[in-house]
Structure 1
Amino acid sequence: MPMVDRPRFLCVHPSAELYGSDRAFLESVEAIRARWPEAVIEIELPMTGPLVPELERISTVRIKPRRTIARTRFIPTATRFLLGYPFAATYALNRMRKFDAVYINTVVPLDFISAGALIRRRICLHVHEIPGRSMSRVLGWLFSMSAGRVIFNSAATQKAFNIGKTPSVIVHNGFEMPALTERDADDGRFKVLLIGRISWWKGQRLLVSAIDRLPAPVRDRLDVRIVGSPIPGREDEVVQLKAQIEAQDLTDIVTIHPFVDDPSFHFRWADVVAVPSLEPEPFGRVAAEGGAYGRPVIASAHGGLTEIVADKETGWLFTPGDADDLARALTEAADNPALLRTLGQAGRTRVNALFSRAAIDAKLTDALAAVIGSGR
């Protein structure tokens, strides 16, 4: 493989917020800069947002609006995407040809991914999603045609796709371990934190349903924070969640807080972190962050969450979608304050061992090094 003294990278991402995949993209670009300090790095986003100034500390950001396919509005967004596809794919191909390696984050930039078939050995695709079975088959075929190397963010994500003989590697999200600080002053409340997009599949409504199933002594001292914002255009998700909280007479127990760029104070407030996702999480960054802060995690037993949470060792796993089983886990946690500290310490040790930033960055940039200079 020819050596490139000053490699040129194009880094493509479909969002400009600071949720899980956005933070993972930022960390990937930081890792590229750290390994290749003299590299030319150009970053392409479809919009502006809080991610942009973070990336501009590292390199140049180009804002180029892009049509994407949204699961919640599949038919109209897919139609618009297909109508504009010839122009979008031509733009993407011309753009990518100027670089030694193209790092595409998530499966959303389909114009770049599909156009990559003509220069596939330069393409490194980082997959953070677990779509349905039919879509997984289609995307797996596309990956095998368009990517020189595929990075999956968990074993669960890798298992969802058949990419043939295309080289792939599992690279979990990496974390800088936060300083371990004491919890907020004990006021006798049992504090449960849920951070994430407010969406039906993230399980906010399941958590609220589980509260009704708690024993009165647990419910009476419960304090729940739901932190997050909806996808633009899906504000009805928040309306429905608030209506459920009011209908169950839980407004004194459950509060909704807007998304914040730095949620560290929420983690330090919490006794436990809940990740009750109804669909499999490809990784489950919030679960790993909870462990990094020394907080036990109560999580659905599917997807990447099972690679993060060790049941009864660093937290609790419960049957996905089962409010009764979630209530059982919450009750065990609330009734065992000494165990919370033990499991939290074990969780922090596990996250540090499996997801340390240095080790993860090395694996990711090794995958990129494999495609540098190998374009045909």
Structure 2
Amino acid sequence: MRRSRRTILVAHPGSELYGSDRVLLESVTGLLDHGWDVLVAVPADGPLVAELRRRGARVELCVTPVLRKSVLRPRGFARFAATTARGIIAGAALLRRERPAAVYVNTVTIPLWIGLARLAGVPVVAHVHEGEATASRLVKRILSAPLLLAQGVIANSRFSVGVLESAFASLGRRTQIVYNAVPGPESRNPARTELDGDLRVTYVGRLSPRKGVDVAIDAIAELEARGVPARLDLVGAVFPGYEWYERDLRDKVEAKRLQSRVSFRGFQSSVWDYLSKGDVVLVPSVADEPFGNTAVEGILSGRPVIASATSGLLEATDGYHTAVTVEPGDVASLADALERTIADWDTAAALLEEDVEHAQRKHSPESYRQRIAEIVGGVARRS
């Protein structure tokens, strides 16, 4: 049976519950709230699937080639090519069956969906969550070229738009900025009035070289050398294939004798308990970040944030009294900022509530859902 054209097909590259996954949940909720039948296509099962179904979306596992750096290696390219062949067959069949009013492609890492949708005569909205300003112009053009086929393009920051514009000026002109929805905790535990004992530091996110997790560990070691006691909670896990990086991190902790100072908490579906138990949140990325959801989550939890002064993190932390930025990869600067957090605690504590309210207004899920539904629905209706 063919469905009516009240269906929006949403394509997403994963099934976890990290930053872009959580933003996807808000996009899907916005479409559902506006009366659309939403089918989400993901390549594998995972915690995201159950959450999507709980909100009322349909979910289908569909083979999808995802652009990752592993594609540059011979074995990785062979896998990518094989997955692409299977993805063409599966994706085309899904489009024929569903006959959606539009396809919403969440990230530039799954360009096949843009091509399949256009070949099927279905309009496309592409949502850009990536931004690599340091990539060569050729690489940026290759990654951005499929977006030229989309009827609508959304980006999560001015930084991301700038990266698109450096590839194709026309993309910069027609891309709409919608800042990420970042829901806060249902209830907030107030920050400690006095920092007695260890400084409690929290990192939330992927355990990845580009995220600077090793820099965070080195900063804790530097504080230890200065006689400043601190503990670090690492809340997150590695991408499949990056297990070597977690082993390196654990080796570093052991070599620096920080076993009692650094804890690996693994992936957590809800991070608020860990954020509320901490005093300060670190976002120590050493590579470009298109935005910085975890920085906003730190602010929403009512905690000071220390982030790298780079790319979209500067945008994510702009305008908050209790968010500071440091040179990416600079261990001493990060340790200095942590020490200043202790010295300036009384001043920061008085400004935390104001920052929380600012973040709630700027990243309201309700406003975000409305905007996404307007853009996607507008493209679908115009078709």
Normalised by the length of structure 2, the TM-score is 0.89
Tell me which of 353, 356, 362 is aligned to 1:354: 362
Structure 1 runs of 4+ off > 6 angstroms?
none
| Alpha-carbon separation, structure 2, partners of 1:33 and 1:312 | 33
The answer on 1:174 being equivalent to 2:181 is yes
| Alpha-carbon separation, structure 2, partners of 1:324 and 1:78 | 40
Q: Deviations over 1:213-243 (max 9, x none)?
A: 3375653x21111111111122111110011
The answer on 1:47 being equivalent to 2:44 is yes
Q: How many residues are matched?
A: 367
Q: What is the 5 A alignment of 1:119-130?
A: 122-130=123-131
Residue identity in the other structure for 1:181: N
Whether the 8 Å CA contact 1:8–1:40 is kept in 2: the answer is: yes
* Structure-2 change in CA distance of 1:209 and 1:73 (3 Å): farther
* Structure-2 change in CA distance of 1:352 and 1:218 (3 Å): farther
Residue identity in the other structure for 1:174: A
Q: Deviations over 1:43-72 (max 9, x none)?
A: 111110111111112121111232323214
Q: What is the 5 A alignment of 1:1-376?
A: 7-36=6-35, 39-57=36-54, 58-72=56-70, 74-75=72-73, 76-86=75-85, 88-89=87-88, 91-96=90-95, 98-118=99-119, 122-131=123-132, 132-133=135-136, 134-144=138-148, 146-162=149-165, 163-166=168-171, 167-178=174-185, 179-183=187-191, 188-214=197-223, 219=228, 221-310=229-318, 313-375=321-383
* Structure-2 change in CA distance of 1:22 and 1:312 (3 Å): closer
Residue identity in the other structure for 1:192: V
- Measured after TM superposition, the shift of residue 343 of structure 1 is 4.2
Whether the 8 Å CA contact 1:69–1:77 is kept in 2: the answer is: no
Residue identity in the other structure for 1:176: P
Instruction: Out of 228-237 and 127-136, give the one that drifted further.
Output: 127-136
* Structure-2 change in CA distance of 1:239 and 1:128 (3 Å): same
| Alpha-carbon separation, structure 1, partners of 2:297 and 2:198 | 22
| Alpha-carbon separation, structure 1, partners of 2:376 and 2:285 | 31
SS of corresponding position for 1:160:
helix
SS of corresponding position for 1:48:
coil
| Alpha-carbon separation, structure 2, partners of 1:236 and 1:138 | 29
- Measured after TM superposition, the shift of residue 355 of structure 1 is 1.1
| Alpha-carbon separation, structure 1, partners of 2:253 and 2:155 | 37
Whether the 8 Å CA contact 1:120–1:148 is kept in 2: the answer is: no
Q: Percent identity?
A: 29
| Alpha-carbon separation, structure 1, partners of 2:259 and 2:351 | 30
- Measured after TM superposition, the shift of residue 168 of structure 1 is 1.6
RMSD of the alignment, in Å? 2.3
Q: Deviations over 1:29-52 (max 9, x none)?
A: 11111122xx22211111101111
Residue identity in the other structure for 2:94: R
Whether the 8 Å CA contact 1:177–1:356 is kept in 2: the answer is: no
Residue identity in the other structure for 2:263: T
Q: Deviations over 1:148-185 (max 9, x none)?
A: 11111111111111344353211111133333322479
| Alpha-carbon separation, structure 2, partners of 1:73 and 1:213 | 37
SS of corresponding position for 2:307:
strand
* Structure-2 change in CA distance of 1:17 and 1:202 (3 Å): same
* Structure-2 change in CA distance of 1:40 and 1:95 (3 Å): same
- Measured after TM superposition, the shift of residue 326 of structure 1 is 1.1
* Structure-2 change in CA distance of 1:176 and 1:68 (3 Å): closer
| Alpha-carbon separation, structure 1, partners of 2:7 and 2:84 | 26
Whether the 8 Å CA contact 1:281–1:302 is kept in 2: the answer is: yes
Residue identity in the other structure for 2:303: R
| Alpha-carbon separation, structure 1, partners of 2:15 and 2:70 | 19
Task: For structure 2, list consecutive stretches of 5 or more residues without a partner in the other structure.
Answer: none
Residue identity in the other structure for 1:223: R
- Measured after TM superposition, the shift of residue 124 of structure 1 is 0.6
SS of corresponding position for 1:214:
helix
Residue identity in the other structure for 1:155: R
| Alpha-carbon separation, structure 2, partners of 1:218 and 1:115 | 59
Task: For structure 1, list consecutive stretches of 5 or more residues without a partner in the other structure.
Answer: none
* Structure-2 change in CA distance of 1:327 and 1:93 (3 Å): same
SS of corresponding position for 1:373:
helix
